[in-house]
Amino acid sequence: MFKFSLVEFSIRRPKLVIWTAVALTLLFLTQFSRIATDTNPKHMLPENSDVRVWNDELDKTFALYEDTIIVGVANHAGVLNRETLTRIARVTDTIIKLGGVASRDVNSFTTITNVTAEAGTLKV
């Protein structure tokens, strides 16, 4: 019975093994440009999924961009203090200056104009 050993074959014909590996690598490399990566978690759900339908409704209701980013700020001492508000202002200013950001749609304590206090809470 013939027994094939890949190790023995590789030792006997190293050039053939190397050239075969190079050829296979080049063959697979030609397909590299066809690879499309979609990391949007919304596309990982079926179109009729309750979560995706609800998310699509929110996008339409609030006219959200596809690449909307929401940043939350937490501080054990509360966010309404000079240090935290200064940091929020610095981050907001940096975000507004980024290319491709719709600065008119950036909402922050430093960009909103109608804030009222009612029953111990802020209404924005």
pLDDT-based confidence at residue 21 (cuts at 50, 70, 90) = very high
Q: For residue 108, give the nearest of 72, 62, 65, 66 by alpha carbon.
A: 72
Query: What is the domain range of residue 49?
Result: 39-68
The predicted model gives 19-36 an average pLDDT of: 94
User: What's the rounded Cα separation, in Å, for the pair 109 and 124?
Assistant: 9
Q: How many domains does the chain have?
A: 3
Identify whether residues 16 and 2 lie together within a single domain.
yes
Identify whether residues 107 and 123 lie together within a single domain.
yes
Identify whether residues 64 and 81 lie together within a single domain.
no
Identify whether residues 90 and 107 lie together within a single domain.
yes
CA angle, corner 124, sides to 109 and 60, nearest 5?
105
Identify whether residues 80 and 108 lie together within a single domain.
yes
Identify whether residues 18 and 47 lie together within a single domain.
no
pLDDT of residue 61 exceeding 70, the answer is: yes
Identify whether residues 31 and 53 lie together within a single domain.
no
Q: What pTM does this model have? A: 0.48
pLDDT of residue 104 exceeding 70, the answer is: yes
What pLDDT does 112 receive? 85
* Cβ partners under 8 Å of residue 30, min gap 6: none
DSSP one-letter code for 72: -
Helix residue spans in the chain (DSSP H) = 6-12, 14-29, 50-61, 82-97
Identify whether residues 58 and 104 lie together within a single domain.
no
- pLDDT tens figures, 75-93: 888 888 899 999 999 999 9
Identify whether residues 61 and 74 lie together within a single domain.
no
